[in-house]
Structure 1
Amino acid sequence: MLKVTDLSHRVSLETDTLTILQGVNLEINRGESVAIVGRSGSGKTTLLGLLAGLDTPTEGTVELDGAMISQLGEDERAQLRSRRVGFVFQSFQLLPALTALENVMLPLELSGSTGPEAKAKELLERVGLGERLYHTPRQLSGGEQQRVAIARAFASEPAVLFADEPTGNLDNRTGHDVSDLLMTLNREQGTTLVMVTHDERLAARCGRQFSIEAGVLTEPARSAEAETGAVN
């Protein structure tokens, strides 16, 4: 599903060049759940953005579901993301003027999906928000907003879901419930899940873990609670 080869990323400063990622190599199989763990400033969010085609690397290649996204133009990457990629962010990224139902319907409508309202309702019911369809984000708790965001991310049935600190703004209990939901949907829909987090307990629930420090990715270690059944 994902193949990264000799990936490096640098940014130019006024008097110097800052290396954010250096010589990253990574392969992720279809249906796997993978966590990238690192402290703030380690390069993990930059790596996630490159994997998702939100940016292009200074050196190296990123192949996503057969497409060499590191060599595509911005419009081509955007089209690929709309068809194959879902996102869950720490800050939810819901549109404040839309209801929960409308937020989940939006990507379905943009993609021309048939029956967007019925599908959005089904997804919100699956994440436990069947009674909150017509509430706007400001009328929902943080955990409920993240559930809406997860429903929206899975609405287009993405091949891969990228999650950036998905429980970072939630209390421990709510964060645990949200991580349960992510892992369940990953397993049931066969979606490849790639998340970055500083929470080692959340990372331990993924099938594989990588650590990143100063832009260097270390070898993965199998977690005690590794998910099984990934398809090569």
Structure 2
Amino acid sequence: MIVAQNLHKTVQTLAGDLHILRGVNLKVAAGDSLAIVGASGSGKSTLLGILAGLDVPSEGRVLLDNRDLNGLDEEARAELRAETLSFVFQSFQLLPGLSALENVMLPLELQGHRDARERARESLAEVGLAEREDHYPPQLSGGEQQRVALARAFVNKPKILFADEPTGNLDAVTGSRIIDLLFNLNKKHQTTLVLVTHEQRLAERCNGCLVLEAGTEISVESMTASAHTEGASAAC
């Protein structure tokens, strides 16, 4: 489902070249889950963006749902994302001027689905927010907003879900509930899950765990995903 081969990312700065990623290799099978962990600045979000086709590597390639992203222009990558992927972010990314229902409907409407309202209501009910569909994001708690974001992410039945610190803005109790909900939905829909997190409890729920340290030292502990770089041997 997701294969990365020898990924490098280098950007130019006033101080010279900055190497964000060096030689990352990984494979995530359909329906599996992979956590990407590491300190701030270690390259986690950069790697996630490259895997999702939002950014391009300086070297290496990514196969996403059997498509080589290197062979696609930005328009084709955007089409592939619309057909295959969904995202969940730390900051929820809900539109404040739309109700919970309208936020969940939005990706379906953009794709031209005539049953957007019905499917959005079913998705909100799935995360326990059927009675809050007419509320706007400022009227919802942080946990409720993230549940709306999860409903929106799963409403179009994506093959792959990318999550960037999905519990980062939540307290411990609410975060635990969101983690349970995320993995329950992932199991139910058989979605491939790749997430960035600082939380060990979240990483431990995944099939695989990839560690980035300062963008160069990479280690992995997994039955279904693998990653390596020269000289790296530490476990997740």
Distance 1:71 1:220, change over 3 A: farther
* Contact 2:21–2:43, Cα closer than 8 Å, also in 1: yes
1:61 and 1:71 in contact (8 A); partners too: no
Q: Which residue of 2 aligns with 1:168?
A: 168
Q: Structure 2 matches for 1:35-184, cutoff 5 A? A: 35-184=35-184
Is 1:19 aligned to 2:19, yes or no? yes
CA distance in 2, matches of 1:31, 1:188: 10
Q: Deviations over 1:91-130 (max 9, x none)?
A: 0000110000000000001112231100000000110101
**Residues 167 and 178, structure 1, Cα contact 8 Å, conserved in 2:** yes
Any conservation in 1 of the 2:39–2:214 contact (CA below 8 Å)?
no
Please give the alpha-carbon distance, in whole angstroms, between the structure 1 residues aligned to 2:187 and 2:63.
23
- Counterparts of 1:184 and 1:161, CA distance in 2: 13
Q: Which residue of 2 aligns with 1:192?
A: 192
Residue of structure 1 equivalent to 2:219: 218
**CA distances 1:160-214 after superposition (whole Å, capped 9, x unpaired):** 0000000000000100000111100110100001001010111101111111112
Q: What's the counterpart of residue 228 of structure 2?
A: none
Letter in 1 for 2:61: T
Shift of 1:159: 0.6
The C-alpha deviation readout for 1:62-92, integer Å capped at 9, x for no partner, is 1100111133111111111111000000000
Could you list the runs of 5+ residues in structure 2 that have no partner in the other structure?
224-236
Give the SS at the match of 2:209.
strand
- Contact (CA 8 Å) 2:208, 2:220: kept in 1 or not? no
Residue 234 of structure 2 is matched in structure 1 by none
1:221 to partner: Cα distance: 4.1
Secondary structure, aligned partner of 2:31 = coil
Per-residue Cα deviation, 1:15-58 (whole angstroms, up to 9, x for no partner): 40100000000000000011111111110110000000101000
Distance in 1, matches of 2:6 and 2:105, equals 38
CA distance in 2, matches of 1:39, 1:176: 21
Give the structure 1 partner of residue 229 of structure 2: none
Counterpart code for 1:220: E
Equivalents in 2 of 1:138, 1:107: separation in Å? Answer: 21
- Aligned AA for 2:36? I
Q: Could you tell me which runs of 5 or more consecutive residues in structure 1 were left unpaired when the two chains were aligned.
A: 223-232
Moved over 3 A (4+): none
Q: Which amino acid aligns with 2:65?
A: D
Q: CA deviation at 1:219?
A: 2.4
- Does the 8 Å contact 1:53/1:70 carry over to 2? no
- TM-score normalised to the size of structure 2? 0.92
Aligned mates of 1:221, 1:189 — CA distance in 2:
22
For residues 136-166 of structure 1, the C-alpha deviation after alignment (integer angstroms, 9 at most, x for no partner) is 1000000000000011011111110000000
- Supply the RMSD in Å over aligned alpha carbons: 1.2
Instruction: Report the secondary structure of 1:23's partner residue.
Output: strand
Tell me the matched-pair count. 223
Mapped partners of 1:90, 1:158: distance in 2: 19
